[in-house]
Structure 1
Amino acid sequence: MRLSQFFLPTLKETPSEAQIVSHRLMLRAGMVRQLSAGIYSWLPLGYRVLKKIEQIVREEQDAIGCNELLMPTIQPAELWQESGRYEDYGLEMLRITDRHDRNILFGPTNEEVITDIFRKEVKSYKQVPQLLYHIQWKFRDEIRPRFGVMRGREFLMKDAYSFDIDYESSRHSYNKMFLAYCRTFSRLGVKAIPMVADTGPIGGDLSHEFIILAETGESEVFCDKTWLDKDLTGKGVDLNDRTNLEGWVQTTLADYAATDEKHEAENCPVSGDDLIATRGIEVGHIFHFGTKYSEPMGATVLGPDGKDVPVMMGSYGIGVSRLVGALIEASHDENGIVWPEEVAPFRVGLINLRTGDDACDAACEDIYGKLKNAKIDVLYDDRDMRAGGKFADMDLIGLPWQIVVGPKGLANGVVELKNRKTGERSEVTLEAALNQIGA
């Protein structure tokens, strides 16, 4: 993409309403713009990051045999009345009345809808287990939306749901999702620690939040410092081998980690310098809630003994839009964002220091073409403006690599290659630059 054709409204000054780093940088980098309190338009740069995160989440869900579907944003109140949550959920639920005076709502979550789908279509134990997920926009009417996309009212989430015949099978589904989450966050380039957590309005008997440690986080969290060096990629784990998978999950969770609601200082097995007490950003939450929804909503299957059995269920969420802010909180410097390569909106920023100079223009067109042919996302800054502004914008938006082309370098047969994460700059031949980037 040529920057002269790309909609990128960057800001030099920090907007006064932005209280945390991710909100400030997302506004300054032209990623989002606020439409109203807690509701944002995603501009091209931000939307590219959002879609890349969404795709990684999707790939890891698919890898454990989860089936993608798409459920509506608007839900009938009757389903929530049936489960008993319509009045219990609270003021965060946006309740609406349509022209026929029917009560409907903008879905804050989808347990009722997915249970309704399941009970209408699945009748036998031979049709379970089932793992279903969707990636959809949700709305929760936060009393005080703040911190940009980190605590907005409208947000994009991945929700998955498991349906099993018995407790043992249901826990296996929970463990499969636990592994998928660990792999997802590892691919995104962040350390998300699974912590024992409160089940809240979702309910259930077992719950883990996946937390990125950050002083700007909204939650108080406590964990053993061993988590900082723990490998959460799940390499070599066979998700179809229940014993192998369960053993890995138990080993992983052997070290202490808990959210504030679950932390008991007097009973904590870790103390002194070994205990990290800080704040964290919740980016994922998984729940095992058994028959909480299946029993009141009649989601049963015919068991092997010929009797109806309420299915055991689990629910698993990842905050896709929230992750954009969380990644920035975890990876930035004084000049702007530093994107992990897997989610960067473009992998390479190509900077023409003298637009209009025949040699510079020709060299940049050649590089631009080669990067595109190699299927590498490149943002070519072909604007006719001062070099300082180009450098500032490129550092601000945080692309992993910069190739800088100027008349002096070309005269010596080199370009400048910059690694955004390390700040390392080197003058190399064009061929060497392309090889290092992987073109």
Structure 2
Amino acid sequence: MIHTRIAVTAASITTACRAVHPTLLSTKSLTHLPIANAFRAATCSRQLHVNSTVDIIPEKHFNVVFDIDGVLIKGKEVLPGTRTALGLLKSNNVPYIFLTNGGGLKEVDKAEQLSKKIGMHISPRQLILSHSPMRELVSKYEDKNVMVVGGNGSDCRHVAQYYGFKHIVTPEEVHSVFPYVCPSSACEARSVPLAEKYLQNVHRPVEAIMVFHDSVDWGRDLQVMLDALVSRDGYLNTVKTQAELHTTKQTVPLFFSNSDLVWSNEHPNPRFAQGTFRTCLERIFKDMTGQKLEYTLYGKPMSATYQYAETVLNKIAPIHRGPDGKPRRRTVYAIGDNPYADIAGANAYGWESVLVRTGVFRPEGEENHHMHPATTVVDDVEDAVRWIISKEIMKEHPF
């Protein structure tokens, strides 16, 4: 394999543009050109190898933020163009991070998992999971007993401990101590003895509930969470009177790591996600108490998650300063497949949004999403990155 470095000047780009697309010089934006032609015009090569060391952007005043499911990966498969897209950014030294509403593992473990799947090194510093911003809750709940919900086995318990929460209880542990909590036979079969050190917090009051990841046992988890929400001062196996349920305020704070109703995998239709689980809990709580369930949301499209992402970008991306010495405002491009999460969040936070057709978004005759229109819509992640690079080249050399 031969790795090459191409010296690209404004003149050479102009020559290439004239050769490939004569009308480009009078075009202020590449958004009206086909993606392939736009990038051909900017780089004079649509077939740049993923491992090439081509550096075609003289100034990098921009960053790229990737969603994962439906953009880079679908179920167990890596989507076409993923490695090429990441390789183009890496070879051009463009800082990028991953911002996903997925989770259930520590960032270091998820980064290792993603690296193996994609075949490229992903640093934990580049990865923001749905529950990553919930680290900020440690300062308030570090010494309090929190119920952690979601994920497989004790994975989310380990994440919470890694973040710094000291006292944790899970629905699985509650069920292990009180088998009658979930009386269905299928649920009883999943009740397994757990280490004694994990069970001591079952008898302490629940002082907050934190849903770190999608539930793998909706019936059990909804039941145990509701038990805590209608309990007296968070003590499980206690319950307020009917009058109290309908007149007193919710006393156990509730946090969800994301609001996605659905997500995309190999199935032709989107699958239920944490937002659907939350909707079920809201309806049950409303029917039982007559009151609206109160909770705090993290994940996309919530602003707290984008603020957290901004701090991560500040740590990995160099600060560029103008002639006056002041930091130059950088452009952030967010690539996603879910208009209600990825695109809505990016638009609200002032980022450029790129919507791909490989995941949740189903065009169905519309070029863009009717409610949350993206800056541009492309077929896949490779086209998204090529569009971004070509746009940035045009900024530097507006012919």
TM-score, L = length of structure 1: 0.25
Greater fraction helix: 2
Larger relative contact order (CA 8 Å, sep ≥ 6): 2
Q: Which has the higher strand share?
A: 1
